[in-house]
Structure 1
Amino acid sequence: MRIGIVVDSACDLPQDFIEQNGIVVLPITVRIGDAVLADHRDEEATLGFLHAHVAERGHEAETTPFTVNQIRDLFLGKLVIDYDHVFCMTITRTRSPIYDNAMQASFAILNDYKPVRQAAGYNSPFALRVLDTQTLFAAQGVTAVEAVRLRNSGENVARIRERLEQVAANTQGYMIPRDLYYLRARARTKGDRSVGLLSAALGSALDIKPVLYGAGGKTEPVAKIKGFDNAVQQMFKFAEGRVRAGLMTPTMCLSYGGELAEMRALPGYQALRDTCASHNVDVYESVMSLTGMVNVGKGAVVVGFAADPMPFKAA
């Protein structure tokens, strides 16, 4: 059976991994004034747009995910021919309409695919599963990597579906934003009052950085740590501890809102890489999606993995 894997462009994975494994990306379009870019997970294009627009005016950006009709047209025009079963994994539905759009599109796709496949010479049925990863950014990548691993190992569709649902339910993402003023400005643009002026001002004045946690469809702060570098190091140390305790999948995903060389120079980065290597955990690192950067700001760092829940503790 030909199994396809679809993600949205908020899913942070290396561009070469996406290309080598034939992962299809549902792009999210970003508009800042007159500048428009459809985010197809092209790291060079993302960095170019970042340097030209995001740093100054990113909080004003409008992001537009694929509509119901665009998803339907993509499937009926290509995917129902190229594959027999597709797993479509989206950013948490609590932060984006992509999951709901894909679900609505799936009904039309499953109603209309037969003549399209028959015209291409396929008389077998087509199936589609839309999965809410319940998290975002680098953490989304964990489920996608597991889907690729299971597909490549020859697992059947039922087993893959069961496993992906289990992984999604246990995937956790942690993020350190660099600029709380940016985060507040972006939140206000979107009508989200969760980052108040006072907390942003105090955080910046005292150089306090929150550790933001995303899992189970929720995003919330779980710690406050003085200093960006120190906060990132504590987050990396926590991730190391989770690796040593045993992950649900041999996968650690990292993303950064800028050049990866900057992330690799942060304290604790190499220690995390070394710990992953010694425990046979594969590390996937990528430039954060343009969608992610306009929402959380330049220079944010994210780690994602699947494991049993455990409260965040700074070392």
Structure 2
Amino acid sequence: MRIGLAIDAACDLSPAFMQQHDIAVMPITVKVDGQVFLDDRKPAELQRFIDLRLGSRSHSAETEPCPVEEVQKLFLDKLVLEQDCVFCLTITATRSPINEHVNRASFVILKNYRQAREAASIPGPFMMRVIDTRNIFAGAAPAVYEATRMIAAGDTPAAIRERLLYIANNSYGYMLPRDLYYLRARAKKKNDRSVSLFSAMLGSALDIKPLLRCFRGETGPVGKVRGFEQGAEALFGYAAQRVRAGLLVPLVCVSYGGDLAVLTHLPGYAGLRAACEEHGVELMEAPMSITGMVNVGEGAVTLGLAAEEHDAEF
């Protein structure tokens, strides 16, 4: 059985990994300051967004997740012909309507795929499974990574689905923003009260950065640090501890809203890399999606891993 993967563009993964596993992308349209971007995780469009240096204006951006009709088209024109089963992984349904769009599209796809496959002389049924990773950005990576491992091992769709639901429930996504004013402005744009004006003003005045966590679809602060670099050191140090304690998936994904070369120079990153190498864990560096950058600001770091339930200590 041919089993493939599709993700929404806000799932942060490295381009090389996506190409290696032929992962399809359900794009997001981003409109900001008169410019329109198709966030499909392609490097050229991502670089165009960065080069335009929209900066603080991006907080007013409008984002449009892949419409139901476009999801249907992607599947009926392409994926039902190339695969016999496709797992669609999306960022948490609590933060984006894309999971709902894909679920709605699946009814039409599963009703009409036979005609497309018969016209191409492809025998047999087609299956489609939608998985809510219950996380955001780099936090979605462990479930996608685990799916590729299980597909390569020849596991059944039923076994893969059960395992991915477990990994989604035990995935942790962390975020360290650079600009609290930006984060507060974007939150206000989306009617999200998670970052108040007072905390943004106080944090900026004292250079205090929050460490935010997404776990099982819920996002909130789990710590505060003085300065972005100290925050990075705390976050990478925590991740190294989790690597040494044992992960459910041998992956730590780190995404950055800008030039990935910056990661190497952040405090604590060398220690995280060493811990991953010592314990056979892949350290994946991923460019943050355009959608991610307009939501949390350029220069932010997100980190994802899957582990047994625990309390973060910062």
TM-score by length of 2: 0.98
Mapping of residues 233-244 of structure 1, within 5 Å: 233-244=233-244
2:190 is matched by which residue type in structure 1? K
1:251 maps onto 2:234 in alignment: no
How far apart in 1 are the matches of 2:285 and 2:178? Answer: 18
Report Cα offsets for 1:27-63 as digits up to 9, x if no partner: 1111113211101112343133123143131101111
Mapped to 1, the partners of 2:82 and 2:246 lie a distance apart of: 37
Runs of 4+ aligned residues of structure 1 deviating over 3 Å after TM superposition are none
Matches within 5 A, 1:21-100: 21-100=21-100
CA deviation digits over 1:196-234, x for unaligned, max 9? 111100000011110100010111111111111101101
**What are the equivalent positions in structure 2 for 1:119-134 lying under 5 Å apart?**
119-134=119-134
Aligned-residue CA RMSD in angstroms?
1.0
- Distance across 2 between alignment mates of 1:215 and 1:54: 30
Give, in angstroms, the shift of residue 244 of structure 1.
0.6
Deviation larger for 74-83 or 44-53: 44-53
Q: Is the 8 A contact 1:47 1:259 kept in 2?
A: no
Q: State the shift of 1:184 in Å.
A: 0.6
230-239 or 186-195: bigger deviation: 186-195
Is contact 2:33-2:58 (8 Å) kept? no
Counterpart amino acid of residue 174 in structure 1: Y
Q: Name 1:153's counterpart in structure 2.
A: 153
In the comparison of the two structures, how many residue pairs are matched?
314
Deviations 1:128-171 (A, max 9, x none): 00000000101111111111111112212121111111111101
| Alignment gaps of 5+ in structure 1 | none
What SS class does the counterpart of residue 7 from structure 1 fall into? strand
Structure 2: segments with no counterpart, 5+ residues: none
Identity of aligned residues (%): 49
- Per-residue Cα deviation, 1:154-199 (whole angstroms, up to 9, x for no partner): 2121211111111111010111101000001111111222211111
1:273 is aligned to: 273
The match for 1:262 is 262
DSSP 3-state at the match of 1:81: helix
Give the 3-state SS of the residue equivalent to 2:111 in structure 1: helix
Aligned to 1:311: 311
The separation in 1 between residues aligned to 2:313 and 2:187, in whole angstroms, is 26
The Cα shift of 1:17 comes to 1.1
2:255, 2:285 within 8 Å by CA — same for their partners in 1?
yes
Distance 1:193 1:303 in 2: 23
